[in-house]
Structure 1
């Protein structure tokens, strides 16, 4: 099911949603939602060649750092490594699936420009998990964010979802797909085809 241009698909609350979503080769897909809402899980499960996920970069750095060193000390290096990896992936011209916290509109702008330069499209997958589901997800992975950070994420993601529901996509996005936890769980493949 290759999505047509300039469309919003709402797969929330459906008894049976699709098991896969298809996009054109070279397109960029951004997965946004609350921390703990299932973005990393979806990317790991559904993207064959892997995605660009800052959580993976953080975990690699955590394995290299002394246990007693707080994450805040080396967070700037993790972010630098993450954005460096993202830049390399974008320069490659290949299809890219990117984990996005939703609070960094400048990242979506960068991705939209990259898609335009290569003559491809930018698509948004919005995971609409409730705050309770997201907090439960954080507890399950043993890592949470501060109440302040969670409130920032919640506001940003809510604005993205409300805009998509009204047909207003972020600048540069060709399509948006809204997924609740059930629809995200059913989604087992994100594919790219010529």
Structure 2
């Protein structure tokens, strides 16, 4: 198991040793995406060493305030509250970990543009779970997604997986993308934001002693 990975460009960790830590530049923003039930919220809660903006937190607050009301009736309010909270967090600055449902690419594009204007960078982490693994995760947490919604999430996750693994440059404003298999996520212990390590100082070599030119011969006048 690799101790640490500082993501840059693309990293497909399928079939590779999983790192214990993901280290991102200080003040950057990480977007965590994946299928519903893949374990995004659990991963962020367990590993993130920065502020987390998770739509599930907003949904839970509304559920406590509206007991017995079907989620479908107040879903638009949850989304609005989540995006307002996200906007405030982005404006406040500092490192940030953001839950992404994956079905709204315009959210990632807006985040990339906003962070770029702030002099920060956006990073993607795709938690790669199979539909069966995600469905099992939904059963375990007691919140099932409808077949129609899950089909939309599967298409979005497939498109994002292609984006992460394809050759060529990443989308504008995206500094790195990591594909993390769900089975490997258990080995990850920390998602941190730290300053980039300072470059090693160049070795100092003593300057060679200056070479002196040989003295010019002195002409001796002839006698007589």
CA 1:108–1:82 in 2, change beyond 3 Å: closer, same or farther? Answer: same
* Conserved 8 A contact 2:50-2:97: no
Aligned to 2:152: 152
CA distance in 1, matches of 2:174, 2:60: 30
Matched, 1:2 2:3: no
**After superposition, what is the alpha-carbon deviation per residue over 1:121-152, rounded to whole angstroms, capped at 9, x for unaligned?**
11000111000000000000000111011111
Q: Distance in 2 between matches of 1:84 and 1:35?
A: 22
Structure (1 or 2) with the greater helix fraction = 1
CA displacement at 1:48 relative to structure 2 = 2.6
Where do 1:66-85 residues align within 5 Å?
66-67=67-68, 69-85=69-85
| 1:122 corresponding residue in structure 2 | 122
CA distance in 1, matches of 2:180, 2:155: 18
- The residue that corresponds to 2:112 in the other structure is 112
**TM superposition shift of 1:84:** 0.9
Specify every segment of 5 or more residues in structure 2 that has no aligned partner in the other structure, as ranges: 196-224
Q: What is the deviation of 1:171?
A: 3.6
Query: Which shows bigger deviation, 168-177 or 18-27?
Result: 168-177
Offset, 1:163: 2.2
For 1:44, the equivalent position in structure 2 comes to 45
The answer to whether the 8 A contact 1:44-1:50 is kept is: no
| RMSD between aligned residues | 1.3
- Cα separation, 2, equivalents of 1:139 and 1:177: 27
Deviations 1:131-180 (A, max 9, x none): 00000000000001110111111001101111221135334211100001
* Aligned pairs for 1:1-194 within 5 A: 1-4=5-8, 7-14=9-16, 16-67=17-68, 69-168=69-168, 169-194=170-195
Select the structure of larger CA radius of gyration: 2
Which runs of 5 or more structure 1 residues have no equivalent in the other structure?
none
Whether contact under 8 Å (1:27, 1:121) holds in the other structure is yes
Using the TM superposition, give the Cα deviation of residue 83 of structure 1 relative to its aligned residue in structure 2, in angstroms. Answer: 0.6
Aligned residues: 190
d(CA) in 2 for partners of 1:177, 1:79 = 26
CA gap of 1:170–1:101, structure 2 versus 1, over 3 A, is farther
TM-score, with structure 1 as normaliser: 0.93
